[in-house]
Amino acid sequence: MHEVRDEELMARYQKGDESAFATLVSRHELRLWNFLRRYVGDPDTAEDLLQEVFMRVIRSASEWRNDAKVSTWMFSIARNLCTDHARRQVHRKAASLDATPERIGDDDSGPRLLDKIAGHEPDGESRLRDKETILRLDQALAQLPQEQREVFLMREVMEMPFAEIALAVGASEPTVKSRMRYALERLRVLLADLNDLADADVAVATGGR
Amino acid sequence: MNTDASPPDRFESLREQLVDYLYNQADVATTRAIESAMAESEGFSLEVDALARTLRISRRALAVASSPAPSRVRSSVLAAAAEQAARMRESGLEPARLVVRNETDDHGGSQGALATLWRWFSRPYTFSLVGVAAVFAIFVMTRGQNAPQLADDAMRSVAESTSEPAARATAAAPTEGQPGTEDRDQELAEDKAGPPAVRFQNEPLGKLARKSSPKRITKDFGRKGDALDDTFGGIAGGSVEAEAPAQAHAPAKSAPAAAPPPTQASSAPVGVAAEARSRAAKPSVIAQTNSEVASVADESVVQERDEKKESGSAPSRAELLARAKKLEAAKSYDEAAAVWAELVRRFPKDPQTAAWRRAETAARKVRN
């Protein structure tokens, strides 16, 4: 079945069709949310930023022209919001990015990310492994330089092609790929002790490389 | 299989392609080169394998950690979207005509700045503002450039009003060699007098006009020029009684007159014309004379001075007047006309000169 393109939905929304925008939200909110969640670490901040992304799209909808991809536009807004947020955090000397992983595992006050994850793994041992893996990944992502982190998350969470990432971050495609390689190399070091877990999972899930 | 004896930068060019290889975007040649290098170097092979494993670990963790967005965000966003949709329906926006506002421009460097400028200048109200500013700038610039020209114009008008009566008087005065002039001859002489303000255009006063403001120049010269016009207009009207208020100022206005143009009449050996030329050649003396004469309110003072100048062998003004009236009483109009002409010639600045000229004309008509 033919899926209506994002650009067509936006054009309809410009004419006052609010259901078209609802479709756009449904289509992109999951990736945007996970991107923001992984980028800033704090779920409350990510929630605020997600709302701000859509509000900016709404406010600028009347000025959008049908020669730019809606998804790239949205992801660019999200990325810019994250950049601004990180900049503010640096100025406030707040260690939210570093503190977030600890909060995930230690904070009992709010809803935990892992608690929201559906129990697709009936095995309790696997769930523990996932918890550990997610915690370690968040810690590792927090240690990446910003330009590497955003490229990694855009590619792995938002599933954006490198060409679109380059457009979103204002860099050339080779530069984006280079940042991606450096991100992977750093994550390899930071997640080296998880290789055994990964080997086990890979053996189960894909049967090896 | 080789160990890591190879230099570390040997695979650097291949590392640049590793991302494409891991994402299955490398071309065939690159893929073969990387796999060949992996077969050749165990270290490079382990390196590539570790990167691939890291990518798998990350993907798995991200997939597990993926969670739905908070529902309250969705509800609030959709409510705002509905309001905006209603506004856009009311305004009837046409998307194709609107300008993009791409968020990438916020961090897009020079291209983003150019795009922002282009958007800003492409809006109608911006053009209106720029247009108003341009018109205002042109107005200010034009005004500044016209100031010297305005000063010249003011000087020229002042010079005309100042020198024209004197030129008329000088040109109208019959010379000794002429048997007498008619009114028409007088008008022709006035026409021949030429533009009286030529001196002001090319000589130092012209430079002064460029340096000085029109207001100041008018302040210095304009009032006198107006008074001169009034004075000579009244005289030309033929009413001797009407001349009275202006008589006191008349010499003052005619005295600083510009040098008479080089016409035949002015070049005649007439003492008054020569005096006028000498005064025109000495601006400081002219100014002094102006102030002197302007302070004289009594006509008789001027007359006595003129008589004193003309004293000597020639008959005085009073004698000539008495003689002319005597001759008219004796109905010797031809001789009376000659005496009137002598009065006109010798006393061109006298307020009565116009009346004498009319008497001369009348006597000649009677004679004819």
- Domain ranges for chain A: 6-205
**Whether pLDDT at B72 is above 80:** yes
Q: Which candidate in B20, B45, B58, B98 is best for mutational testing of the A interface (most A CBs within 10 A)?
A: B58
Q: How confident is the model at residue B143 (pLDDT cuts 50, 70, 90)?
A: confident
CA nearest neighbour of A135 among A121, A117, A122: A117
Q: How far is CA B323 from CA B149, B196, B200, B300, B368, in A?
A: 53, 36, 43, 20, 21
Identify all chain A residues contacting B86, using CB atoms and an 8 Å cutoff: 16
Q: How confident is the model at residue B155 (pLDDT cuts 50, 70, 90)?
A: low
Check CB contact of B107 with chain A, cutoff 8 Å.
Answer: yes
- pLDDT number for residue A54: 93
Q: What is the ipTM of this complex?
A: 0.73
**Whether pLDDT at B21 is above 80:** yes
**Whether pLDDT at B115 is above 70:** no
CA nearest neighbour of A34 among A181, A180, A141, A177: A141
Question: Would you state the structure tokens that stand for residue B36, as one six-digit string?
Answer: 């060949």
CB pair distance less than 8 Å for A37 and B109: no
Check CB contact of B281 with chain A, cutoff 8 Å.
Answer: no
Window from A155-164, B125-134, B186-195 with minimum mean pLDDT:
B186-195
- pLDDT number for residue A110: 42
Identify all chain A residues contacting B55, using CB atoms and an 8 Å cutoff: 184
CB pair distance less than 8 Å for A65 and B96: yes
Query: Which CB contacts under 8 angstroms, 24+ apart, belong to B81-86?
Result: B81/A13, B81/A18, B81/A21, B81/A22, B81/A25, B81/A54, B81/A58, B82/A18, B84/A58, B84/A59, B84/A61, B84/A62, B85/A13, B85/A16, B85/A17, B85/A18, B85/A21, B86/A16
- pLDDT number for residue B8: 57
Question: Would you state the structure tokens that stand for residue B287, as one six-digit string?
Answer: 């100014």
What residues pair up with B2 in beta bridges, in sequence order?
B41
Check CB contact of B24 with chain A, cutoff 8 Å.
Answer: no
Question: Would you state the structure tokens that stand for residue A49, as one six-digit string?
Answer: 């930023």
Which residues between 180 and 239 in chain B have a beta carbon less than 8 angstroms from any beta carbon of chain A? none
Identify all chain B residues contacting A67, using CB atoms and an 8 Å cutoff: 100
| 3-class secondary structure, A39 | helix
Report the distance separating Cα A129 and Cα B72, nearest Å. 30
CA nearest neighbour of A66 among B105, B89, B96: B96
**Whether pLDDT at B347 is above 80:** yes
CB pair distance less than 8 Å for B88 and A30: no
Identify all chain A residues contacting B100, using CB atoms and an 8 Å cutoff: 63-65, 67-68
Check CB contact of B12 with chain A, cutoff 8 Å.
Answer: no
Report the distance separating Cα B338 and Cα B327, nearest Å. 10
Identify all chain A residues contacting B67, using CB atoms and an 8 Å cutoff: 33-34, 37, 113, 116-117
Check CB contact of A134 with chain B, cutoff 8 Å.
Answer: yes
The stretch B16-33 carries a mean pLDDT of 88
Highest mean pLDDT among A52-56, A123-127, B121-125, B252-256: A52-56
Q: Which amino acid is at A11?
A: A
- pLDDT number for residue B193: 46
Report the distance separating Cα A81 and Cα A32, nearest Å. 12
More confident residue, B115 or B159: B115
State which residues of chain A have pLDDT below 50.
Answer: 94-122, 202-209
Asked if B42 and B4 touch (Cβ cutoff 8 Å), the reply is yes
Question: Would you state the structure tokens that stand for residue B276, as one six-digit string?
Answer: 């006028």
**Whether pLDDT at B183 is above 60:** no
Check CB contact of B63 with chain A, cutoff 8 Å.
Answer: no
Contacting residues for B97 by C-beta, under 8 A, at least 6 apart: none
Check CB contact of A135 with chain B, cutoff 8 Å.
Answer: no
Highest mean pLDDT among A172-176, B215-219, B243-247: A172-176
- pLDDT number for residue B291: 52
> Which residue in the set B68, B77, B96 is minimally distant from A25, CB to CB?
B77
Phi-psi region of B238 (alpha: psi -120 to 50; beta: other; left: phi over 0): left
Mean pLDDT of chain B: 63
Pick the CATH number of A6-205 from 3.40.50.300, 2.40.128.20, 2.30.30.280, 1.10.1740.10: 1.10.1740.10
Q: List the single residue in A with minimal CA-CA distance to B58.
A: A137
- Distance from B30 to chain A by nearest Cα, in Å? 15
> Which residue in the set A63, A72, A170 is minimally distant from B98, CB to CB?
A63
Q: List the single residue in A with minimal CA-CA distance to B85.
A: A16
> Which residue in the set B57, B99, B103 is minimally distant from A198, CB to CB?
B57
The stretch B141-152 carries a mean pLDDT of 62
**Whether pLDDT at B314 is above 70:** yes
Asked if B277 and B270 touch (Cβ cutoff 8 Å), the reply is no
- Distance from B11 to chain A by nearest Cα, in Å? 14
CB pair distance less than 8 Å for B62 and A37: no
**∠ CA A152-A153-A154, rounded to 5°:** 95
Q: Is the dihedral of CA A39, A40, A46, A52 positive or negative?
A: negative
- Distance from A1 to chain B by nearest Cα, in Å? 25
Window from B62-76, B239-253, B288-302 with minimum mean pLDDT:
B239-253
- Distance from A134 to chain B by nearest Cα, in Å? 5
CB pair distance less than 8 Å for B68 and A64: no
What residues pair up with B41 in beta bridges, in sequence order?
B2
Query: According to the 3-state scheme, what is the secondary structure of chain B?
Result: CECCCCCHHHHHHHHHCHHHHHCCCCCHHHHHHHHHHHHHEHHHHHHHHHHHHHHHHHHHHHHHHCCCCCHHHHHHHHHHHHHHHHHHHHHCCCHHHCCCCCHHHHHCHHHHHHHHHHHHHCCHHHHHHHHHHHHHHHHHHHHHHHHHHHHHHHHHHHHHHHHHHHHHHHHHCCCCCCCCCCHHHHHHHHHHCCCCCHHHHHCHHHHHHHHCCHHHHHHHHHHHHHHHHHHHHHHHCCCHHHHHHHHCCHHHHHCCCCCCCCCHHHHCCCHHHHHHHHHHCCHHHHHHHHHHHHCCCCHHHHHHHHHHHCCCCCCCHHHHHHHHHHHHHCCCHHHHHHHHHHHHHHCCCCCCHHHHHHHHHHHHHHHC
**Whether pLDDT at B19 is above 80:** yes
Q: Which candidate in A45, A188, A195 is best for mutational testing of the B interface (most B CBs within 10 A)?
A: A188
- Please name the helix (run of DSSP H) or strand (run of DSSP E) that holds residue A22, with its range, or none: helix A18-40
CA nearest neighbour of A67 among B13, B96, B145: B96
* pLDDT tens per residue across span A41-91: 888 999 999 999 999 999 988 888 877 788 888 998 999 999 888 888 776
